[in-house]
Amino acid sequence: MKKILLFVIALISITPVFAGVLTVSNNTALPGSPGQYTTVQAAVNASFAGDTILVHGSSIAYNEGVTVNKKLIIRGPGFYPQSSNASIANGFTITISNNSSNTIIEGFYNMYVYCTNTNPVTNLIIRRNFISPYGIGLNVNINGSIIENNVFYSGGVDLQNAQNVQIRNNIFQTTITSSNSATIQIKNNLFVCAGDAFSGITNAVISNNIFYQKNPMDAAGTNVSTSTFNNNLTYNNAGSQGIIPSGSNIGSGNIVNTDPLFMGVYSCGVSYNINWRLNLISPAKNAGTDGTDIGPTGGVSPIYLYPAPYPITGEPAMPQVQSLTMPVSSVAPGGNLNVTVKARKRN
């Protein structure tokens, strides 16, 4: 009897546990609203750790504050989705609280993320969002995060001495601030428009970035110190502020005061409609430390999901149904209904 009981316990222990999927839509005027919940917070409250929450695009801004207190995947449709009749999910302030390690947040427009956790939270992923107005605020209890493929319009990243953070393949009109950690990696980003790219950064590794008019150094040369600059490109910076490394910083392979030759026409701003891809004769092409492009089209997470002429979309990493066709509106009981579904695979 004991052997049988042990076998049953072992069988239960290897039985797969499937995470749930919850859906949200605030557009209750739609017939047969696609959401189980009308607010993200209601879905978070009803979820279990490991669940996925899919937030439908809406013509109505959500304008919602959400507190995440467990491991979740929270996905919107992207900040510039390419599906016909697709809408954005707009207006979120997301607070990362305790017990939220391994949470993923992606695919939102006008979003602000900050952390109030008192216990350590690890391995956050914040990607493919349009960050505005306040940005991303981590704290000293964050250990291990990836911030990638976002567009920072009017809110930057405040690291607050978080550890093991990778900030990669983003486009910044704003600033990265407050870090004294040797485990911070800032790589394959594009910084644009006047002003300084950094404030209060010490001991970071800064590689494969493009600084187009945005200055890697301030006029005093003190906004970044004892950091390593490798294989970055600067262009159209103020005075000598694009000359790197300088001061107490070190590094090599940097390309100074050289036009990166974007395929699109540069204008100050972070519009996802500008073609930020590199011309084939660009000096940044395949010139990074890893042999890929300098800037957001290189590295391990290129910002463009689709080839030219598609813009940056922010669409999440999941398959997308583009169209569904039914040749008839009804079918007799017991009959067959042929449905044609066209979908796109996304990484």
What tens digit of pLDDT does each residue of 216-272 get?
999 999 999 999 999 999 999 999 999 999 999 999 999 999 999 999 988 787 677
Residue closest to 81 by CA, chosen among 276, 307, 316: 316
Nearest CA-CA partner of 315 in 28, 164, 106: 106
Residue 88 · residue 55 · CB < 8 Å:
no
pTM exceeds 0.85 for this model: yes
Residue 265 forms part of a structural domain: yes
8 within a domain of the structure (yes/no):
no
Q: What does the pLDDT read at residue 28?
A: 84
Does 13 fall in a domain? no
296 has pLDDT over 50: yes
Residue 186 CA to residue 197 CA, distance in Å, equals: 11
- Domain assignment present for residue 337? The answer is no
Please determine, for residue 10, whether its predicted confidence score (pLDDT) is greater than 50. no
pLDDT interval class at 13 (50, 70, 90): very low
The answer to whether residue 9 sits within a structural domain is no
pLDDT for the residue numbered 292: 98
317 pLDDT band, cuts 50/70/90, is confident
Query: pLDDT by residue (tens digit) across 50-109?
Result: 999 999 999 999 999 999 999 999 999 999 998 766 789 999 999 999 999 999 999 999
Query: What is the DSSP pairing of strand 320-325 with strand 340-344?
Result: antiparallel
Question: pLDDT-based confidence at 288, cuts 50/70/90?
Answer: very high
Q: Considering the domain boundaries, does residue 111 fall inside one?
A: yes
204: containing domain: 21-319
With respect to residue 346, please indicate whether it lies within any of the assigned structural domains.
Answer: no
Count of structural domains, the chain: 1
pLDDT digits (tens, 9 = 90+) for 134-157: 999 999 999 999 999 999 999 999
329 part of a folded domain: no
- Of 1 and 139, the structure prediction assigns the larger pLDDT to 139
Any idea which of 4-18, 171-185, 239-253 has the lowest mean pLDDT?
Answer: 4-18
Backbone angles phi, psi at 273, to 5 degrees: -85, -20
